């Protein structure tokens, strides 16, 4: 082990012993037990990009923090049907376009972004139309987004979501 690697290991060990989150290579700590879960008002939400491949479609759900706080888990999606909020059935795990980082706590600083991918299959006959979306996250008592501009006709279905993970485009 080189001198630099030994120094990094020693500093990381001291930080862990002191209860300080160690920053991962993407600038976001993978665990920070001293931070509270984010509140809905501390997160801005947007849908970014679109992916297409072999009947698969996806978009990224990007969460940007305005505070020091944590998020984790799989987003829960809801749509409106006849004015009532209804859950969108979505499997949790990898999509055609993205691996699943799994459920783990992500420590965020102001300006940090994390991403979950929402994916679906196109060309499914008589699926339930979806849109607009409301998004909820574990440990946050209010929805993090209401009425996101996301609309799919009755030819889309078999939804999947990845857990919240590091935003690879932030590098």
State the pTM of this model: 0.76
What is the reported pLDDT for 147? 85
Laid out side by side, the sheet with 145-148 consists of: 84-87, 76-81, 133-136, 145-148
| CA angle (123, 59, 120) in 5-degree steps | 30
Query: Based on the number of CB atoms within 10 Å of its own CB, is 148 exposed (0-12), middle (13-18) or buried (19 or more)?
Result: buried
* Contact criterion met (CB below 8 Å) for 115 and 65: no
Task: Write the pLDDT tens digit of every residue in 63-114.
Answer: 999 999 999 999 999 988 888 888 988 999 999 999 999 999 999 999 999 9
Domain ranges within the chain, ordered by starting residue:
27-170
pLDDT-derived band at 31 (thresholds 50, 70, 90) equals: low
**Tokens of residue 126, six digits:** 């008589």
Question: Length of the chain in residues, anyone?
Answer: 171
- The more confidently predicted of residues 171 and 61 is 61
């Amino acid at each position: 082990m080189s001198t630099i690697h030994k120094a990094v290991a020693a500093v990381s060990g001291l930080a862990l012993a002191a209860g300080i989150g160690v920053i991962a290579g993407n600038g976001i700590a993978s665990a920070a037990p001293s931070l509270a879960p984010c509140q809905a008002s501390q997160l801005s939400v947007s849908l970014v990009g679109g992916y297409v491949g072999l009947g698969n479609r996806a978009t990224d759900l990007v969460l940007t923090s305005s505070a020091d706080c944590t998020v984790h888990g799989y987003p829960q999606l809801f749509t409106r049907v006849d004015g009532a909020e209804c859950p969108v059935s979505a499997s949790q795990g990898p999509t055609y376009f993205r691996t699943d980082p799994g459920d783990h706590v992500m420590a965020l600083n102001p300006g940090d972004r994390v991403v979950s991918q929402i994916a679906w299959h196109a060309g499914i006959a008589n699926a339930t139309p979806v849109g607009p979306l409301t998004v909820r996250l574990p440990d946050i008592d209010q929805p993090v987004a209401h009425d996101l501009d996301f609309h799919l006709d009755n030819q889309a279905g078999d939804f999947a979501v990845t857990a919240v993970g590091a935003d690879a485009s932030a590098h």
